[in-house]
Amino acid sequence: MKLAYWMYAGPAHIGTLRVGSSFKNVHAIMHAPLGDDYFNVMRSMLERERDFTPVTASIVDRHVLTRGSKEKVFENIICKDQQEKPDFILLTPTCTSSILQEDLNNFVERATRQTDSNILLADVNHYRINEFQAADRTLEQIIAFYLDRTAEKIEKTEKPSANILGIFTLGFHHQHDCREIYRLLTDLGIQINQIIPEGCFITDLKKIPEAWFNIVPYREIGLMTALYLEKKYNMPYISTTPMGLVETASWIREISKIVDKNYEEYIDKQTRFISQAAWFSRSIDCQNLTGKKALVFGDATHGAYMTKILAREMGINVCCAGTYCKNDGDWFREQVQGFCDQVLITEDHTQVSNMIAEIEPAAIFGTQMERHVGKRLDIPCGVISAPIHIQNFPLSYRPFLGYEGTNQIADLVYNSFTLGMEDHLLEIFGGHDVKTVITKNLSTDENLVWNREAENELQKIPGFVRNRIKRSTEKFARSKKIKEITVEVMYAAKEALSD
Amino acid sequence: METLKFECETGNYHTFCPISCVSWLYQKISDSFFLVIGTKTCGYFLQNALGVMIFAEPRYAMAELEEGDISAQLHDFDELKRLCLQIQKDRNPSIIVWIGTCTTEIIKMDLEGIAPKIEEFIGRPIIVARANGLDYAFTQGEDTVLAAMAHRCPEVSALTNTTNKCIPPLVLFGSLPNTVAQQLTRELEHQGIHISGWLPEARYEELPELGAGVFVCGVNPFLSRTAITLMRRRKCRLIGAPFPIGPDGTRAWLEKICQVFNKTPHNLDERESNIWKNLEDYLSLVRGKSVFFMGDNLLEISLARFLIRCGMIVYEIGIPYMDKRFQASELQFLEKTCQEMSVPMPRIVEKPDNSNQIQRIRAMKPDLVITGLAHSNPLEARGITTKWSVEFTFAQIHGFINARDILELVTRPLRRNNHLNNLGWSKLVNEKSFVF
């Protein structure tokens, strides 16, 4: 037993359901007790999904405990098959059903004989793997299920083409990333063969081998499928994530090797003139970020690539880079080696928050949990990875990948740090003046005279905090019945407020 | 004459897991600590359903079962003892509540057997509530906790019993926010009835005395196990009344208690009609509109009864579980309300099937569907106005004063849609994709 308050990755069946409900016309039936269909709420709320989530529960209750699911699962499968006519039904075990040890495969076989749908039992162990691993495994399982039964001769597309493996429902900015990859590939003259699984029909899976190669944007989900396709159809795959300028370039070079075209001119133009990120790193704004301390924590993909962007492309000092994807720890270590002072691989959020408290970075790039830790410690945080809340499903176009992604990341980094700096300056010059309203006017100079010296001093304070400093100094002066504000008064005010 | 119709469907419906009760109970009982003994699935539900509360150093945690626990390679007793010692050290609560889950049921972990031994060892009470999804839905979680807690209330002392011979003690049960509990207490005091305590109180150490001769009365419709425990195990006498939800319900509830205590209720007529008068702006919005309850929190009967009194027409009352004995007065009151308002009796569907319900909603086109979050957005996209049902469990809805809050919730989607009405895009999916 483990005392736990919070977890980074969800239970296995969430991963399986994310795969199932990303496909079109696929229905998932969970073998679960009442209340375990919380996935539907998440999809309906976080993704603001307009359609009913194609997931139902075959409820495990007292009767099932005493007599077994027997007819129940079977009937639920037949019923869904008739109601909705899905192409495919995914029977999803949960942690509860996995200890019941019922022969769910038997139900699947029986139901297959009586329906037109294909039915598959997701093969995941709830006590050994998490959401991401389960999603990875289920995607491979479904694709193998279909490809193993198509023996037709495969013809490659005439023009170079690629499959994108691993765009999911409830994924961190997946929709935007997918659009950005699409745009990039179009620029490179490469067709998209299939996007899997989001919005994909199961009946189209047989076309997968027609593509020249596969793209796996996130290493958490999709690698197993890519490996399977490589083994079975000799399809090459690219597992580099095109996140940040350097890695986007190496991603394009990998493609260039496969399709045997030269893209150097395109990379150069995009990097120097189309994307603003390269110029941003050179601009004087970015100079101020040099050597600032940051901490990065997230899934393996976003954690590693963000670390590299901060260190290599912006000159920021990443004191600690970490991930909760323990199963991918070795890869992570290898990736961030030389880009950060230390590596933290843990699933325990208290360890991460202790690390943050110890390092006191100027900014954090992490998950929603790190954002809350940041709030408590007054450190700004940019969210770069799941687990996420509804505000991380923006309506506007916000990719993290490709050239537009580099712009988005630059904004995210810059905004996090300037906010941090503003706060810091406020503290130096007397804090936020929000507790008491002195007068109706923002600033009042009735009876108060600023002498020339003090006026000059005031002008030295950065514009965005100047008015607040002015007000707090005046408030102090009024409380001390001081008529003329001198530099001494200003400093006395600052001193009094910092007590 | 028409009577209420009861039906029962497949039970394939969406609701919250009963372990969600820790979210309001740990806040109500301020010196408690809730330990949910379950898997990652339970933890994931809690952290997503409770959102922001997770980050505020909550007084609850998961005892996450690992493979070794399931296969009995680890010893339950040692594991739980270790965790409880840690909780005691870190948080020092007056009571630890163990919430048993589906997994502890299936592997038959003997929580009730282990608890007394660990309790003795750490020197503070541990109570066990089996709030699992195999047996219960959502708010019934609170019922299991309060039923377990009823055993821990001190026995009513002979002294209190004899001094107050003419006025027997009255204990109310059901967890309400402290202000609402205070409001109901005062309503009774206006009628000259003094309450000797609440189950639960704001602190575990303040639990009320129970025993033979003590009257008890519930404030929420989902507390049937607690009621049975109080009657059978603690020999209390249950006052069966409609629940104090809506001004009509509050009045009926007060009248019933007055009747038991031989008091003539005074001022209630005026009080109720004043409240109704104040609601007029909302009532004009809801009059003649139709409602469909999909059912997920057991408040449905009382809410439907109130909304019918407000002039609405209820098509269907879905409800997870219907205890006809505990809710007898409320059901009678519902029937009477329907007759007085001359509206057809709604059908009451126990253990509903959401998929069938969606078909019925499609056919009936109600003006408002009260439903869980899983269905809200998809129904809205199809031009059907919805209200998120869970809000009724977290909002203050009891007593005369809070009647406005119920209507605030019910009318919010209607008001919002009135604002957006002229834009011409109320249906935001293709017609053919109405079905699941």
With a cut of 60, say whether residue B167 has pLDDT above it.
yes
Is the Cβ pair A95, B14 closer than 8 Å? Answer: no
Which fold would CATH assign to domain A277-427?
Rossmann fold (3.40.50)
Is the Cβ pair B61, A4 closer than 8 Å? Answer: yes
Q: If you average pLDDT over every residue of chain B, what do you get? A: 92
Q: Residue with structure tokens 């110029």? A: A279
User: Minimal Cα–Cα distance from B79 to chain A, Å?
Assistant: 6
DSSP string, B249-287: HHHHHHHHHHHHTT----SHHHHHHHHHHHTHHHHHHHT
User: Minimal Cα–Cα distance from A32 to chain B, Å?
Assistant: 9
Note the helical H segments in A275-348: 277-282, 284-287, 300-308, 314, 329-336
What's the rounded mean pLDDT across residues B16-28? Answer: 93
Is the Cβ pair A50, B376 closer than 8 Å? Answer: no
With a cut of 80, say whether residue A3 has pLDDT above it.
yes
**Cα–Cα distance measured from residue B102 to residue A226, given in angstroms and rounded to the nearest whole number:** 37
What's the rounded mean pLDDT across residues B58-67? Answer: 90
Instruction: Please state which of the ranges A91-100, A341-350, A414-423 shows the lowest mean pLDDT.
Output: A414-423
* A53 DSSP 8-state letter: P
CATH 3.40.50.1980 describes domain A161-273: yes
Is the Cβ pair A51, B40 closer than 8 Å? Answer: no
Q: Which amino acid is at B20?
A: S
8 A C-beta contact, residue B134 and residue B21: no
Is the Cβ pair B12, A48 closer than 8 Å? Answer: no
Q: Is the Cα torsion angle B14, B15, B16, B18 positive or negative in sign? A: negative
8 A C-beta contact, residue A117 and residue A9: no
Chain Cα centroid distance, residue B337: 22
Q: Which residues of A are catalytic?
A: 285
Taking alpha carbons only, the member of B146, B148, B151 closest to residue B220 is: B146
What's the rounded mean pLDDT across residues A190-201? Answer: 95
Express as a percent the part of chain B with pLDDT over 70.
Answer: 95
With a cut of 60, say whether residue A312 has pLDDT above it.
yes
Between A116 and B16, the higher pLDDT residue: B16
Is the Cβ pair B17, A49 closer than 8 Å? Answer: no
Instruction: Please state which of the ranges A162-171, A374-383, B169-178 shows the lowest mean pLDDT.
Output: A374-383
Selecting from B55, B64, B134 the residue whose C-beta is nearest the C-beta of A372 gives: B55
8 A C-beta contact, residue A190 and residue A135: no
8 A C-beta contact, residue B149 and residue B174: no
pLDDT of residue B429: 83
Domain with CATH 3.40.50.1980 in chain B: 18-136, 170-261, 268-421
Beta bridge partners of A91: A29, A121
With a cut of 90, say whether residue B320 has pLDDT above it.
yes
Selecting from B86, B103, B133 the residue whose C-beta is nearest the C-beta of A35 gives: B133
pLDDT interval class at B165 (50, 70, 90): low
Token pair for A143: 């694709």
Token pair for B150: 């009823």
- Residue range B268-421, CATH number: 3.40.50.1980
Instruction: Please state which of the ranges A110-114, A361-365, B252-256 shows the lowest mean pLDDT.
Output: A110-114
pLDDT interval class at A248 (50, 70, 90): very high
Which fold would CATH assign to domain A12-135?
Rossmann fold (3.40.50)
Domain with CATH 1.10.8.550 in chain A: 449-496
Q: Within 13 Å, how many C-alpha atoms sit on residue A409's CB side?
A: 32
β-pairing verdict for B237-238 and B290-293: unpaired
- CB–CB contacts below 8 A, A to B: 166
Selecting from B20, B39, B435 the residue whose C-beta is nearest the C-beta of A11 gives: B39
What's the rounded mean pLDDT across residues B103-108? Answer: 92
With a cut of 70, say whether residue A431 has pLDDT above it.
no
pLDDT interval class at A439 (50, 70, 90): very low
DSSP string, A176-217: HHHHHHHHHHHHTT-EEEEEEETT-BGGGGGGGGGSSEEE-S
**Cα–Cα distance measured from residue A240 to residue A257, given in angstroms and rounded to the nearest whole number:** 14
pLDDT interval class at A498 (50, 70, 90): low
| Beta-carbon count within 10 A of B323 CB | 18
CATH 1.10.8.550 describes domain A449-496: yes
What's the rounded mean pLDDT across residues A470-483? Answer: 84
What's the rounded mean pLDDT across residues A448-469? Answer: 79
pLDDT of residue B2: 76
* A148 DSSP 8-state letter: T
Q: Which CATH class is domain B18-136?
A: alpha beta
Note the helical H segments in B128-223: 140-150, 158-163, 178-190
Q: What is the pTM of this model?
A: 0.88
pLDDT interval class at A427 (50, 70, 90): low
Name which of B17, B23, B34, B40 to mutate to probe chain A: the one with the most chain A Cβ atoms within 10 A of its Cβ.
Answer: B40
Longest Cα–Cα distance of chain A, Å, equals 93
User: Minimal Cα–Cα distance from B416 to chain A, Å?
Assistant: 18
User: Minimal Cα–Cα distance from B214 to chain A, Å?
Assistant: 34
pLDDT interval class at A430 (50, 70, 90): low
Selecting from B79, B374, B436 the residue whose C-beta is nearest the C-beta of A84 gives: B436
Beta bridge partners of A161: A191
Domain with CATH 3.40.50.1980 in chain A: 12-135, 161-273, 277-427
Burial class of residue B120, CB neighbours in 10 A (0-12, 13-18, 19+): exposed
8 A C-beta contact, residue B184 and residue B398: yes
pLDDT of residue A311: 96
What's the rounded mean pLDDT across residues B263-276? Answer: 93
Taking alpha carbons only, the member of A242, A241, A190 closest to residue A212 is: A190
What's the rounded mean pLDDT across residues A369-384? Answer: 90
Q: Which CATH class is domain B170-261?
A: alpha beta
With a cut of 90, say whether residue B349 has pLDDT above it.
yes
